C-alpha cells in the first residue's frame, strides 16, 4: 500500500468505518511508514481532543422534569383528539356540525314563529290604513299622517273617534281588531310624521320569548325592535297593552301616559 | 409497562445527549431546551410508530434534526459557500509539525485550547457541516446512522465530515494564533 492509499482511508479508519481488510492493510503500511503513522496519530488525537472538550454539557434534569410534566398534561388534555385516526375526528366534527346546525335551525324556527304569530299581525293591523292609502295612490308617496287628506283616509279605516288629545299625539281613530283570536281595541295616533298604534286586550296569560324586559315604575315592559317598527307590551289591571311605533326612539313611559289618558 | 413507563425507560435516557447536540446546533440554551422538548413531545405522540428493538437514540435524533431543519435553522438559506481551496487536508498537522519536533507542539496546542473554545469553533461551522461533525464526533453515530438521521447519501456524509474537520482545524489554529498560544511560522 502506498502513502496515498493509506491517507485516502485515513478518516474511515479513524471513524471505525473501514473494512477489516482495509484496516489490516493500513496497519501494515503504518508499521514501516513514520510519516503516515504520525498523521494517523495526530488525527486520532484530534478527534479525541474535540470529543473530550465539547462533549460536556450542563445536566438537563430540569428539562427532563418539564418534559414529563408536559407528557402528563398531554395525557389528560384534548391534545389526544389530534392523535386519533382521521375517522374519529371526522365523526366528531360531523356530530358537532350537525348539533350547531340544529341549534341555529331551532333559533330561526322560534324567531320565525314569534314573528308570524305575534309581531306580524300587530304590524299589519298597525299599518293597514297606511297600506290602503298607498295602494289608492298612483305613486308611492311619503306619508305624513297629519296631512288632512291622509288623515281623512286613515280615519275611514279606523272609524271610531275617541275624544282625546295629548300634546304631540294626534288621535286618528280607533276600532276593534281580531288578532290571533283575541279581540283588541286598536287606537291609532299620529306622532310627528309617524304612526303609533295602541292595542288593548284581555290578558290571556300571553308571554313572548325574545323580548327585552325593562322595569319602569314597578311595571315590567317588554320590548322588541324589528325591521320597520318597535313593539312593546305590558300588563296592567288584567289587560295587555301592545304599542307599535314606527318611531323607534319613542319612550315607553310616553306611550303609557298616552294610554292612561284614554 | 404503560406507554409512559416504556417511554421514560427507553427515550428519556437520551435527553442529555439530545440537549448537547441541540445546544451546538441552536447556539443558545432557550432554543436548545425548546427543541429538545418539542422532539420528545413529538416522539411521545408517535411512540406507537417506533419499532421496538430498533435504534431509539437514532430515531430521536432524526426527529430532532427534522424539527431543527424546519423550524430553527438560520432564516436566510443562501447556499453555504465555503472556501477551502487554500486549506490542505493536513493543515493543522502541517502547521504544528512545522513548529519543530522538540517541544511536542501537538500536546501544547491541545492543552492550551479550552472547552468553550472548541464548542465555539464547532458553532462557527456552517450548519450542514456542523450537524455531521456533532453527530459523528460528539454523539458517535456511524456514517450510515448519520445518513439516516440527516437524510443524506452516505457519500455526502463522508465529504461533509471531511470538510468539517478541515474547517474545524483551521478555526482552532486561527484561534490559537490570535490568542498567542502559538507563534505562527511561515510554512
- With an 8 Å Cβ cutoff, are B37 and A45 in contact? no
User: Within 13 Å, how many C-alpha atoms sit on residue A254's CB side?
Assistant: 15
Chain A partners of B168 at a C-beta cutoff of 8 Å? 50
The rounded radius of gyration (Å) of the Cα atoms in chain A is 45
Whether the pLDDT of residue A166 is over 70: the answer is no
Buried b (16+ CB within 10 A) or exposed e, A64-80: beebbeebeeeeeeeee
- Picking from B13, B112, B115 by the largest number of A CB atoms within 10 A of its own CB, the best residue to mutate is B115
pLDDT at position B75 is: 55
- With an 8 Å Cβ cutoff, are B24 and A54 in contact? yes
- With an 8 Å Cβ cutoff, are A75 and B4 in contact? yes
Domain residue extents for chain A: 3-55, 118-260
What average pLDDT score do residues A3-12 get?
89
% residues pLDDT > 70 (chain A):
81
Chain center to CA of A248 = 26
pLDDT at position B187 is: 46
Check if CATH label 1.10.1740.10 holds for domain B3-72.
yes
pLDDT at position A192 is: 74
Work out the angle at residue B84's Cα, subtended by the Cα atoms of residues B82 and B87, and round it to the nearest 5 degrees.
Answer: 150
Check if CATH label 2.40.50.100 holds for domain B91-178.
no
Dump pLDDT digits (tens) for B121-153.
Answer: 999 899 889 999 999 999 999 999 999 999 999
Whether the pLDDT of residue B186 is over 50: the answer is no
What distance in Å separates the CA atoms of residue B83 and residue A122, rounded to the nearest whole number?
Answer: 89
Dump pLDDT digits (tens) for A136-149.
Answer: 776 666 777 777 77
Query: What ipTM did this prediction achieve?
Result: 0.87
B95 close to A (CB below 8 A): no
Q: For residues B137 and A50, is the Cβ–Cβ distance under 8 A?
A: yes
What average pLDDT score do residues A172-179 get?
79
What average pLDDT score do residues B1-21 get?
90
Which of A18-22, A68-72, A230-234 bottoms out in mean pLDDT, i.e. has the lowest?
A: A230-234
Q: Which of A11, A54, A64 is the closest to B15 by Cβ? A: A64
Q: Which residue carries 290578558 as its cell? A: A203
The sign of the dihedral angle between the CA atoms of A54, A56, A58, A60 is positive
pLDDT at position B14 is: 93
Chain A partners of B36 at a C-beta cutoff of 8 Å? 60, 63, 67
Q: Pick B90 or A15 by higher pLDDT.
A: A15
Q: Which range has the top average pLDDT, A47-51, A141-145, B181-185?
A: A47-51
Q: What string of H, E and C letters represents the secondary structure of B109-178? A: HHHHCCHHHHHHHHHHCCHHHHHHHHHHHHCCCCHHHHHHHHCCCHHHHHHHHHHHHHHHHHHHHHHHHH
Q: Pick B169 or A174 by higher pLDDT.
A: B169
pLDDT at position B40 is: 94
Q: How far is CA A20 from CA A26, A159, B75, B140, in A?
A: 10, 119, 44, 19
CATH code 1.10.10.10 region(s) in chain B = 91-178
pLDDT at position B78 is: 56
- With an 8 Å Cβ cutoff, are B119 and A54 in contact? yes
Provide the CATH topology of domain A118-260. Phosphorylase Kinase; domain 1 (3.30.200)
Amino acid at each position: 500500500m502506498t502513502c496515498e492509499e493509506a491517507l485516502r482511508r485515513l478518516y474511515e479508519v479513524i471513524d471505525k468505518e473501514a473494512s477489516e481488510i482495509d484496516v489490516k492493510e493500513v496497519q501494515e503500511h503504518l508499521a514501516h511508514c513514520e510519516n503516515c503513522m504520525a498523521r494517523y496519530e495526530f488525527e486520532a488525537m484530534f478527534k479525541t481532543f474535540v470529543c473530550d472538550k465539547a462533549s460536556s454539557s450542563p445536566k438537563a434534569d430540569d428539562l427532563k422534569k418539564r418534559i414529563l410534566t408536559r407528557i402528563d398534561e398531554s395525557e389528560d388534555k384534548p391534545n389526544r383528539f389530534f392523535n386519533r385516526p382521521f375517522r374519529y375526528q371526522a365523526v366528531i366534527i360531523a356530530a358537532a356540525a350537525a348539533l350547531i346546525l340544529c341549534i341555529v335551525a331551532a333559533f330561526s324556527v322560534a324567531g320565525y314563529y314569534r314573528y308570524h304569530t305575534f309581531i306580524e299581525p300587530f304590524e299589519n293591523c298597525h299599518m293597514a290604513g297606511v297600506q290602503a292609502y298607498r295602494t289608492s295612490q298612483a305613486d308611492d308617496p311619503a306619508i305624513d299622517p297629519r296631512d288632512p287628506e291622509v288623515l281623512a283616509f286613515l280615519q275611514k279605516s279606523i272609524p271610531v273617534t275617541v275624544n282625546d288629545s295629548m300634546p304631540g299625539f294626534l288621535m286618528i281613530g280607533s276600532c276593534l281588531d281580531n288578532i290571533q283570536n283575541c279581540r283588541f281595541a286598536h287606537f291609532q295616533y299620529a306622532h310627528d310624521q309617524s304612526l303609533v298604534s295602541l292595542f288593548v286586550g284581555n290578558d290571556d296569560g300571553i308571554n313572548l320569548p325574545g323580548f327585552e324586559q325593562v322595569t319602569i315604575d314597578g311595571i315590567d315592559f317588554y320590548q322588541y325592535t324589528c325591521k320597520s317598527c318597535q313593539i312593546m307590551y305590558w300588563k296592567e289591571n288584567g289587560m295587555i297593552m301592545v304599542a307599535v311605533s314606527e318611531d323607534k326612539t319613542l319612550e315607553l313611559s310616553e306611550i303609557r301616559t298616552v294610554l292612561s289618558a284614554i | 409497562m404503560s406507554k409512559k413507563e416504556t417511554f421514560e425507560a427507553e427515550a428519556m435516557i437520551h435527553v442529555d445527549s439530545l440537549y448537547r447536540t441541540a445546544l451546538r446546533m441552536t447556539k443558545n440554551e432557550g432554543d436548545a431546551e425548546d427543541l429538545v422538548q418539542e422532539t420528545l413531545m413529538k416522539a411521545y405522540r408517535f411512540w406507537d410508530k417506533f419499532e421496538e428493538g430498533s435504534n431509539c437514540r437514532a430515531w430521536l435524533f432524526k426527529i430532532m434534526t427534522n424539527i431543527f431543519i424546519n423550524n430553527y435553522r438560520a432564516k436566510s438559506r443562501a447556499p453555504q459557500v465555503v472556501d477551502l481551496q487554500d486549506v490542505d487536508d493536513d493543515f493543522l498537522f502541517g502547521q504544528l509539525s512545522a513548529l519543530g519536533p522538540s517541544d511536542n507542539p501537538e500536546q501544547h496546542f491541545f492543552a492550551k485550547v479550552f472547552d468553550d473554545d472548541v464548542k465555539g469553533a464547532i458553532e462557527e461551522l456552517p450548519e450542514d457541516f456542523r450537524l455531521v461533525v456533532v453527530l459523528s464526533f460528539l454523539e458517535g453515530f456511524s456514517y450510515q446512522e448519520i445518513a439516516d438521521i440527516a437524510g443524506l447519501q452516505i457519500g455526502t456524509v463522508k465529504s461533509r465530515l471531511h470538510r468539517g474537520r478541515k474547517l474545524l482545524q483551521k478555526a482552532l489554529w486561527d484561534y490559537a494564533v490570535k490568542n498567542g498560544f502559538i507563534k505562527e511560522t511561515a510554512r
